[in-house]
């Protein structure tokens, strides 16, 4: 099976994002080839060349228990189901290898991308993250932020040069709102002077958030580099919960500590990248000539050909072989650029629209090359650990390929759809729809005040104007429009009987966001005609057929690759979760 280049590009974006999460767990949870296991008595299951040890299983059980809300019943059936679920992942890997998917050029390229990502993770751990400390002051600062909402406006720029130009205009006395009107194509941001509304802890890009929470009302920042570009921030309001108790802090300490680790790690990585790149030495004239070579051969710079190992940009004689960037003993040449460019995603390469963007891009490539070199030459570099990390992420990629493969095999005929609708007509209904308005606040105390005000008879619109943390809500009085009941998630059971004019809440959906709803109208469930139901019926049949096909193929592959579960060893494990 060959994967199209378009779908491959989707995989690159999706799976490298997923790998950032997976790499945190791989070191202790992965399955290893048989010849790397020191103690065969610990083996609980095996398939082909892979074995699952007791340690691997217990880590998987811990995560399964967490997903179940730490209320899992550890019966023998549950334990065996968890083990088999993990084992089936490696059954699919064996199946993919037998189909030669791993030898396809685009899959090989993905594997190398994943391996490079694993090396970068090792660099960040050894040179940046191992040096981080989080103390009580950090936790208290984040707890304060969790109980604070900041309202800010911003001016956005794609690169540092544009951001510096905007900041210079502000320093010359130009009005912030007028500049926003000229910068933003989004009519709402242009009209409101770049107003982003209120936000709290973990709502915004971490660099943006960290800067905004350090500012006073009316203060304007210099250019702040975010994951999308640069922002100049103006803080317009700050609202803090009046009373914050030690009990509240203690109750949220673990949650805040997890956020603190994530945020401090992300900031440290970004700052290391930024500070290092700022010290790079390079020749602007040479970079200009390289940019001209790229502009003269744009297809070679932007195309993706997984059968190559470097970009095929034709470099002029005065550029080829030249040193582009230096940093101490590190040297990054034009040849290195062609190699690193090949491992830079298409979407990133496409962002180079002028020599300034391109220079920043080349510097980022140089940083990556330098980081991988430093990681691999570190005296404590563990090549086996890094390779195992990459392998586990690659196995997830193969599992997603398998899922895509199943999609191509499933066929549903019109006759099947008609028969399913005839047999189960009552299942295909348009669900209850609710026309709702909401008030969003950023603290439990404010949510309680809103609820008490509404219950006392105060007008919904007046309460919204006073309390809402969403300035855009004042424009339409918080109206959300008609929403199917199943889109309310865990709130649905509490809303299914609500009638027009009634209130529901407060609901804490994410972080420090509390929602209070008013029902404006409802449309009762309605039976769908056959024509209306066709998409739903087809989706249901495809999902059912796909599940059955998956069970069939995995079952056959388990036999083919001799999948074995050692139930006696599994049930003898002392479990402490």
The separation between CA 383 and the C-alpha centre of its own chain, rounded to angstroms, equals 27
User: What backbone torsions phi and psi does residue 505 show, to the nearest 5 degrees?
Assistant: 130, -165
In a domain, 13, yes or no: no
How does residue 357 score in pLDDT terms, banded at 50, 70 and 90?
very high
Residues 194 and 286 in one domain: no
Residues 178 and 263 reside in one and the same domain: yes
Asked whether residue 269 is domain-assigned, the answer is yes
Residue 482 lies in a domain: yes
Rounded average pLDDT over 159-179: 94
Residue 341: how many other CB atoms lie within 10 Å? 19
pLDDT in tens, 275-334: 999 999 999 999 999 999 999 999 999 988 888 889 999 999 999 999 999 999 999 999
DSSP 431: P
Mean pLDDT of all residues in the chain? 88
Alpha-carbon span 541 to 418, nearest angstrom: 11
**Cα distance between residue 91 and residue 52, in whole Å:** 12
Is 261 in the same domain as 310? Answer: no
User: Rounded to whole angstroms, how far apart are CA atoms 104 and 114?
Assistant: 15
**Residue 215 counted as domain residue:** yes
336 with 264, same domain: the answer is: no
Token pair, residue 520, equals: 């404006």
Distance, CA of 234 to CA of 384 (rounded, Å) = 48
Instruction: Using the 3D structure, point to which of 527, 557, 572 is the last residue of a domain.
Output: 527
Q: How far is CA 130 from its chain centroid?
A: 23
Question: Phi and psi for 47 in degrees, rounded to 5?
Answer: -155, 130
Q: What is the pLDDT of residues 28-70, one digit of tens each?
A: 345 555 544 444 458 999 999 899 998 888 888 888 777 766 5
Residues 332 and 460 in one domain: no
Give the domain extent around 515.
Answer: 429-527
The answer as to whether 96 is a domain residue is no
pTM for the predicted model, two decimal places: 0.79
Handedness of CA 25, 31, 37, 43 (dihedral sign): positive
My answer on whether 269 and 302 are in the same domain is no
Judgement on whether residues 271 and 286 belong to the same structural domain of the protein: no
Question: Does residue 66 fall inside a structural domain?
Answer: no
8 A C-beta contact, residue 110 and residue 12: yes
Starting from the edge strand earliest in sequence, which strands make up the sheet with 564-565, in order? 32-33, 50-53, 43-47, 564-565
Alpha carbon of 142 to those of 202, 258, 260, 350: distances in Å? 10, 11, 7, 37
**265 within domain boundaries:** yes
- Summarised one tens digit per residue, pLDDT across range 98-142 is 999 999 999 999 999 999 999 999 999 999 999 899 999 999 888
For residue 466, what is the domain's CATH number? Answer: 3.10.50.40
Task: Write the CA distances from 276 to 162, 328, 571, integer angstroms.
Answer: 21, 11, 52
> Which residues share a beta bridge with 172?
none
* 445 lies in the same domain as 518: yes
The total domain count for the chain is 3
Judge whether 42 lies within some domain: no
The residue from 225, 257, 278 where one domain ends is 278
DSSP three-state, residue 239: strand
State whether 271 and 288 are in the same domain.
Answer: no
Under 8 Å between Cβ of 149 and 238: yes
**H helix intervals, 410-507:** 414-423, 444-455, 460-467, 473-476, 492-495
Q: Are residues 288 and 246 in the same domain?
A: no
Instruction: Show which of 527, 552, 569 is a domain's final residue.
Output: 527
270 and 356 both lie in a single domain: no
> 551: exposed, middle or buried (C-beta count within 10 Å: 0-12, 13-18, 19+)?
exposed
Residues 298 and 176 in one domain: no
Task: Give the contacts of 379 (CB within 8 A, at least 6 positions apart).
Answer: none
């Amino acid at each position: 099976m060959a994967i199209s280049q378009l779908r491959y590009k989707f995989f690159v974006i999706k799976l490298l994002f997923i790998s950032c999460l997976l790499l945190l767990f791989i070191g202790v949870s992965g399955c290893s080839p048989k010849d790397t296991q020191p103690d065969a008595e610990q083996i609980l299951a095996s398939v082909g060349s892979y074995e699952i040890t007791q340690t691997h299983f217990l880590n998987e059980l811990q995560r399964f228990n967490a997903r179940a809300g730490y209320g899992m019943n550890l019966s023998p059936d549950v334990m065996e189901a968890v083990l088999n679920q993990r084992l089936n992942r490696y059954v699919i890997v064996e199946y993919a290898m037998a189909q030669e998917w791993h030898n396809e050029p685009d899959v090989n390229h993905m594997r190398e991308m994943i391996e490079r990502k694993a090396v970068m993770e090792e660099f960040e751990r050894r040179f940046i993250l191992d040096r981080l400390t989080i103390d009580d002051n950090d936790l208290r600062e984040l707890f304060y932020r969790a109980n604070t909402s900041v309202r800010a406006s911003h001016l956005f720029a794609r690169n540092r040069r544009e951001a510096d130009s905007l900041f210079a205009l502000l320093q010359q006395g130009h009005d912030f709102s007028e500049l926003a009107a000229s910068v933003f194509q989004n009519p709402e941001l242009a009209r409101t002077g770049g107003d982003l509304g209120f936000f709290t802890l973990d709502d915004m890009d971490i660099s943006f958030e960290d800067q905004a929470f350090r500012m006073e009302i009316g203060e304007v920042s210099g250019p702040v580099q975010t994951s999308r570009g640069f922002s100049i921030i103006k803080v317009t309001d700050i609202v803090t919960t009046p009373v914050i108790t030690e009990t509240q802090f203690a109750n949220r300490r673990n949650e805040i500590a997890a956020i603190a680790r994530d945020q401090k790690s992300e900031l440290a990585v970004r700052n290391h990248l930024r500070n290092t790149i700022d010290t790079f030495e390079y020749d602007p004239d040479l970079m200009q000539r390289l940019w001209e070579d790229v502009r003269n051969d744009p297809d070679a710079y932007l195309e993706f050909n997984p059968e190559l190992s470097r970009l095929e940009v034709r470099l002029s004689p005065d550029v080829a072989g030249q040193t582009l960037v230096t940093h101490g003993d590190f040297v990054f040449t034009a040849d290195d650029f062609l190699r690193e460019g090949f491992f830079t995603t298409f979407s990133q390469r496409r962002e180079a629209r002028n020599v300034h963007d391109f220079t920043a891009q080349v510097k980022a490539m140089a940083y990556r090359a330098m980081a991988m070199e430093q990681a691999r030459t570190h005296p404590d570099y563990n090549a086996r650990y890094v390779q195992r990390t990459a392998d586990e992420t690659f196995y997830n990629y193969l599992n997603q390929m398998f899922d895509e493969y199943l999609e191509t095999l499933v066929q549903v005929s019109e006759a099947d759809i008609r028969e399913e609708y005839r047999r189960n007509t009552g299942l295909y209904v348009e669900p209850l729809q609710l026309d709702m308005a909401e008030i969003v606040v950023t603290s439990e105390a404010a949510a309680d005040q809103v609820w008490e005000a509404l219950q006392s008879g105060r007008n919904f619109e007046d309460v919204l104007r006073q309390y809402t943390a969403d300035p855009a809500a004042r424009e339409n009085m918080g109206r959300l429009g008609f929403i199917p009941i199943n889109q309310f998630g865990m709130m649905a059971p509490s809303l299914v009987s609500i009638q027009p004019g009634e209130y529901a809440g407060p609901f804490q959906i994410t972080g420090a966001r509390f929602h209070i709803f008013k029902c404006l109208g409802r449309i009762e469930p309605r039976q769908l005609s056959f024509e209306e139901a066709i998409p739903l019926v087809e989706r249901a049949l495809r999902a059912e057929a796909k599940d059955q096909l998956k069970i069939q193929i995995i079952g056959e592959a388990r036999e083919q690759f001799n999948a074995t579960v050692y139930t006696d060893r599994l049930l003898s494990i002392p479990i402490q979760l």
